[in-house]
Amino acid sequence: MPSGARRTPSRKGSMVDVPKDMLDQIKKLEDLFIVDGQKLKEVTNQFVSELVRGLGQNDATIPMNPTWCMAFPDGNETGTFLALDMGGTNMRVCEVTLTEEKGEFDIIQSKYRMPEELKTGTADELWAYVADCLQQFIEYHHGDEKIEQLPLGFTFSYPATQEYIDHGILQRWTKGFDIDGVEGKDVVPPFEAALAERGLPIKLTALVNDTTGTMIASAYTDPLMRIGCIFGTGCNAAYMEDCGSIPKIAHMNLDASLPMAINCEYGAFDNEHKVLPRTPYDIIIDKESPRPGQQAFEKMIAGLYLGEIFRLVLLDLHQNHECDFFAGQDISKLKKAYSLDAGFLAAIEEDPFENLSETYDLMQNKLSISCTKPELELLRRLAELIGTRAARLSACGVAAICKHKGWETCHVGADGSVFNKYPHFKIRGAQALKEILDWPENKGKGKGDPIEILPAEDGSGVGAALIAALTLKRVQQGQNAGIRDPEAMKKAAALASKAKPSK
């Protein structure tokens, strides 16, 4: 569905059969989960001051990491690049050829499943797996061809402090990853060692966050793009700051007017719990997570957590006995943490039938619970409440960047499973932006809004390749800010311009 397209609600929904004690529970949930316009404004204002604080100091809640991506593409970038995306579920390797035609590219790609055990395994296993995927890709697509060197943009979508563009100290794992011995260290040397062990002709040119890749890829085809966002397993955004507005890098004496992409890492917003309207369920999610106290904002809105919030509410309703809820049912499957994902909620919200028969089947198939009609009505309302809260709070981050930069109009490129697949997410977000930014009544519909959140171009493929290309370009022009080894990069640039696109 194109962004901003509206679906007429296909179901009226009626609570007439719902008993009074269950209605009371629904009312309670509404009080917990509904975030009104006034609260959104309060959250956004606090967000703005936290963004500014992050630009000023290294130990702020929102990290605001400078990325050394220091230009937007102009559409004339050329060359052949590898892009590697180490996501949560899949690993993707792409070869991107930026062609002579302005803003055009060719891409070949392969996907590899990211084994679940890897997320909690050892660092050696992780890097060996990543390097094996790259090796397979090169063997498959290039066979016996002699390749001297291919520059690589590596999309590593976790918070990393970057002293250089091809460097990144992992601040902490997010999104359920928990691999010992990586946090607090530079992720690049072990990655490069795994490449070298396999003799792979690859030069890591840029370590890229998915949000920065999204912003750059989207700006390649749309000059109005200012922000790249991910609303997926995690949530975060990147935007272009000017070096003069980043006091924490003042000691580098960079030209104040130079642009610098900032990976906000704003999933960490409000870790001090000052302003977000957390429910008891959000508190449990945090406590039981591998990193309690971290990613407070992300844990309320990102795809990884939506199903779990839903599950915790259902469990509570069953156990608190304030109404009959799943009475006499075997709830053992419901007791399993993280057994429901955001897709489950999305499917409930999409159930088109008046009697919610699809929701009935979902509950039966997934949890072996047979729901009564009133229970189904509650499930539907709860999914709406959780999905709507996620979309509305998500808008606060985007609004905060725009307010901070004084942007009244712009395009925002967004990607991620929640943005792309969760029903009504886009329109709910647009409505929230309208309330936060006091747009006139006819706005807040997505299309044609002053600030429009649009589906992004491929950030971790084309975006990462472009960032590698932009890096090599600026090194050739003698702009070496954030470049660890300019000579090696210059050599890479010379080889990249010789590299032939694969057939």
Sites of contact with ligand GLC (CB under 6 A): 157-159, 174-175, 209-211, 230, 232, 234-236, 265, 267, 298
Based on the residue annotation, tell me whether 351 is a catalytic residue of this protein. no
Using the minimum distance from each CB to ligand GLC, give the nearer residue, 234 or 413.
234
Q: How far is the CB of 376 from ligand GLC (least distance, A)?
A: 33
- CA count, 13 A, side-chain hemisphere, 497: 10
Using CA atoms, how far apart are residues 229 and 238, in angstroms rounded to an integer? 7
232 or 374: CB nearest ligand GLC: 232
Which one, 127 or 158, has the nearer CB to ligand GLC?
158
Cβ atoms within 10 Å, residue 156: 22
Q: Which of 3, 85, 92, 157 is catalytic?
A: 157
- Cβ proximity to ligand GLC: between 61 and 157 the closer is 157
Query: Smallest distance from the beta carbon of 312 to ligand GLC, in angstroms?
Result: 21
Nearer to ligand GLC, 235 or 385 (CB): 235
The span from the CA of 138 to the CA of 302, in Å, is 34
CB atoms within 10 A of CB 119: 17
Residue 125 DSSP symbol: H
Residues 85, 166, 186, 210: which is the catalytic one?
210
Nearer to ligand GLC, 22 or 237 (CB): 237
- 180 catalytic? Reply is no
- Rounded Cα distance, 384 and 34, in Å: 10
Q: Which is nearer to ligand GLC, 211 or 394 (CB)?
A: 211
Alpha helices, DSSP H only, in 204-295? Answer: 210-221, 280-288
Classify 487 as helix, strand or coil: helix
Q: Which of 291, 81, 88 is nearest to 203 (CA)?
A: 81
CB closer to ligand GLC out of 170 and 371? 170
Least gap, CB of 44 to ligand GLC (angstroms): 19
Asked whether 218 and 225 are in contact (CB, 8 A), the reply is yes
Q: How far is the CB of 257 from ligand GLC (least distance, A)?
A: 27
Would residue 172 show up in a list of annotated catalytic residues for this protein?
Answer: yes
Amino acid identity of 189? P
When the beta carbons of 378 and 453 are compared against ligand GLC, the nearer one is: 453
Q: Which residues, in sequence order, are bridge partners of residue 112? A: 91
Written as one letter, the residue type at 1 is M
Active-site residue identified among 3, 85, 166, 172:
172
- E strands of 243-337, at which residues? 259-263
User: Token pair of 54, please?
Assistant: 């992050």
Pairing of strands 65-66, 259-263: antiparallel
As measured in angstroms, the least distance from the Cβ of 235 to ligand GLC is 6
Nearest approach, Cβ of residue 493 and ligand GLC (Å): 27
Q: Please classify residue 8 by burial: count the beta carbons closer than 10 Å to its beta carbon, then call 0-12 exposed, 13-18 middle and 19+ buried.
A: exposed
CB < 8 Å & 24+ apart, contacts of 347-355: 348/379, 348/380, 348/383, 349/380, 349/383, 349/384, 349/387, 349/422, 349/423, 349/424, 350/423, 351/11, 351/380, 352/10, 352/11, 353/11, 354/11, 354/12, 354/13
Q: How far is the CB of 171 from ligand GLC (least distance, A)?
A: 8
Q: How far apart are CA 355 and CA 54, in angstroms?
A: 49
Least separation in angstroms between CB 214 and ligand GLC: 9
**Least gap, CB of 236 to ligand GLC (angstroms):** 3
What is the three-class DSSP state of 149? coil
Encoded tokens for 133: 């995927």
Cα-based distances in Å from 77 to 212, 220, 446, 463: 17, 10, 31, 12
Catalytic positions, written as ranges: 157, 172, 210
